[in-house]
Amino acid sequence: MSVGVRRVAKGVGDFVIEALGEAVGEFVLSLLACALLGCLVLVAYLAWSFSPRLTIAGAGVLGLLLAHGAWQTFRTSTKGRRRGLATLTAAAFGATAITAIFLLLYGTGCDCW
């Protein structure tokens, strides 16, 4: 076998392995997004079946905390440091934003419903 044929065969093999790895990665991420979406729906259903009023009140409090976290994240800070509740709400807002972006990218293709 000549050197050129080996190089082409190695290139094709590397391409197939990379394509297969990407396909498996996409599948795993889509599966995680579907599982996360299912868990969120289950939590909302169980909370609503337990107490609709408490669910609405909890959603309101969560909305206020996330709004405070967004405000803390995007405002121009005079001191440069956050303390206590500001740090907690900013971290909660960041985690929620990352989860929302993940679900937007991978949860939209979830055909499990």
User: 43 vs 10, which has greater pLDDT?
Assistant: 43
Q: Is the pLDDT of residue 104 over 80?
A: yes
Residue 42: pLDDT band with limits 50, 70, 90 = very high
For the four alpha carbons of 100, 104, 105 and 107, in that order, the dihedral sign comes to positive
Residue 56: the pLDDT is: 95
pLDDT surpasses 70 at 18: yes
Mean pLDDT of the chain: 86
Select from 103, 110, 73, 102 the least CA-distant residue to 89: 73
Residue 113: the pLDDT is 54
